[in-house]
Chain A
Amino acid sequence: MDWTPAPRRSSAIRRDQNFAIIGAVISGAVVATGLAMLLLARVNPDGAVRVRGAVLDIVAPIWAVARAPVDGVGRAADAVGAYLGAVSENRQLKRDLAEARAELQRAAADRQALRQLRRAEAVTEPRRRLVVTARIVSATPGSVVRTAIISAGAAQGVKLGQPAISADGLIGRTIEVGRHSARLLLLSDPASRVPVLISRTGEAALVKGDNKPSFELSARAGSDAPLKPGDVLLTSGEGGIYPPGVPVGTIISREPPWRVRPAASPLGAGFVRIEAAYQPLPQEAEGPIFDAMVPAEARRQGGVAGTVRRAESGDGAGEREGGDE
């Protein structure tokens, strides 16, 4: 025999080898599934909305209960602090009150003038409407997505895309809604964009989050007038979600990469007001619309179902794609 016969493998070894092969195949399939899910999430970010809501409903009550003792200790500490600081705080409050009264008189006159002007110009404005006041029960300090969970959901009237505002200023907007809980996208998340006005100059701009404690000011429209540290940013009311005039933050940098210090801290806030979307945008086409090129055959037939808007007149569907060419 000029070759060595393969050594006989016992059935136990063979079984282990088979297990190893099956394990490798399953692992590969699992990773491929994960990547496919990611591509699906890219095309349709609002998939699995119901599952996400259900998970929220499980997590929110756990932390609502778990943080109760911590809140109790915090309240006790606050009470002690209030007694100790009562005298100095009282003096400060009296000074503030005197200033505020003067400011209030001016504001009353302004309000009267504004009302007359609006009537003269027949301006109609949407109104702000409070949906519910809710407590922030949880956050994701360990995640790349900056969110917080509140203890109010669809049962209390919360819907997707509603602004969350605390006593100090803007906190974020709702992105997931469960039955008794909802998730807020905080302003510091990279996906967050808030249209603002710089109150000193009246310029419009965008405030973007980038996973840092302060925000980035970008897309300034209008003049390039230099900003000053301390300039206050208020929401402009554009975009339809956030109502106008809510404090967003103040400028803290002196030169062009403008940084913004938040007006309100989401996690110290405790309670937030969820308001109805200021002026919800009208619903448009259902389903995702791709910007990709569409084959001519698909255009002639009026588009792949649900992906390309059908044009009622003209040379078939695909007006949108035609415009890009």
Chain B
Amino acid sequence: MSRAPITERSMFGGYAPPLRLMSGAERRRWWLGHWRLAVPAVSSLFLLLFMTMPLPLPLPIFPELGLIAIFVWATFQPSLMPPWAAFLIGLVADLLFAQPLGVNATLFALIAGFVRWFEVRYGHHAHIFDWALALALVAGFEIGSWLLMDLGGQPTALAPLGWQWLTSLLAYPAVSALCGRLQRTILAADGGR
């Protein structure tokens, strides 16, 4: 079994399928056979949902699990976490966290696009390197959400978000281990056909 990452080419077998020649059942099987492509997006959504956990915390200090997941998937599987997918996940985050529509959507899309641009030029997937990059991006995200919350008409304070940066520092290894496990167990089973 090959462990090559999935690309746009391998995603659809390199050619357009003869859909008209297939029976209904075959067509359904062909489309449903691509459910693995949704794994990065769905796992990011689950982590976002996890962030709405009822914890008795007086400060916004829960780590940015959704953002870290988007970063990790953008490094592991760039073609499965394009900026538009990050945008849609960000819209769900805005709805979940009662923020003005567009704060997380814009920032997630920007970060997915930045990671894609950055990986081509400087990325080398050393764990410590990725960790440091993720922390820089979380810091950028906190400052960006502070600015965009102001733009969206709900100004907030920046200082408490520093705590969230600290907890994200600790949460990164766990999230990247989870995504790596998903990649090994689910995505690679289909990868590089």
CA distance A191 to B160 in the complex (A): 15
Are A141 and B61 in contact, with the CB atoms below 8 A? yes
The secondary-structure label for the interface of chain B is loop
Stretch with Cβ within 8 A of A (4 or more), from B19-27, B34-42, B104-112, B183-191:
B104-112
Q: CB distance A63 to B54 under 8 Å?
A: yes
In the complex, the answer to whether B98 meets A143 with C-beta atoms within 8 Å is yes
Contacts of A113 in B (CB 8 A): none
Chain B residues with Cβ under 8 A from A39's Cβ?
A: 151
Q: Does A131 contact B (CB under 8 A)?
A: no
A-chain residues with CB within 8 Å of residue B99 when the two chains form the complex: 143-145
Contact A267 B100, beta carbon cutoff 8 Å: no
B74-106 Cβ-contact flags toward A at 8 Å (1 or 0) = 000000001110010010100111111111011
In the complex the two chains form, is A67's CB within 8 Å of B54's CB? Answer: yes
Please measure, in the bound complex, the distance between the C-alpha atom of A147 and the C-alpha atom of B57, giving whole angstroms.
Answer: 12
Let me know if A42 and B153 touch, CB within 8 A.
Answer: yes
Interface size on A, residues (CB 8 A): 54
B26-68: which residues lie under 8 A (CB-CB) from chain A? 49, 51-65
- From B51, B58, B113, A27 is in contact (CB under 8 Å) with B113
Q: Given the known inter-chain contacts A141-B57, A143-B60, please indicate yes or no for A34 contacting B109, CB distance below 8 A.
A: yes
Q: Contact at A62–B54, with CB atoms within 8 Å?
A: no
Count contacts on B: residues with CB < 8 A to the other chain.
51
User: By the criterion CB–CB under 8 Å, are B52 and A191 in contact?
Assistant: no
Q: Is B126 an interface residue (CB 8 A)?
A: no
Residues of chain A within 8 A of B134, CB atoms compared: none
| In the complex, B145 has a CB within 8 A of chain A | yes
Contact between A30 and B84, CB atoms less than 8 A apart: yes
Interface residue from A35, A183, A190 paired with B98 (Cβ < 8 Å): A183
Asked if B155 contacts A142 (CB within 8 A), the reply is no
Interface residues of B in 128-172 (CB under 8 A from A): 145-146, 148-149, 151-157, 160-161, 164
The 8 Å CB contact of A267, one of B8, B56, B101, B113, is B56
Q: A42-B151, A190-B154, A190-B157 are in contact. Are A143 and B84 (CB under 8 A)?
A: no
A-B pairs with lowest CB-CB distance, top 8:
A34-B106, A142-B62, A213-B58, A37-B102, A41-B100, A143-B97, A38-B102, A142-B51
Q: Chain B residues in contact with chain A, CB under 8 A?
A: 8, 49, 51-65, 82-84, 87, 90, 92, 95-103, 105-106, 109-110, 113, 145-146, 148-149, 151-157, 160-161, 164
A: residues with CB less than 8 A from B are 19, 23, 26-27, 30-31, 33-42, 45, 47-48, 51-52, 55, 59, 62-63, 67, 136-149, 175-176, 183, 185, 188, 190-191, 210-213, 265, 267-268
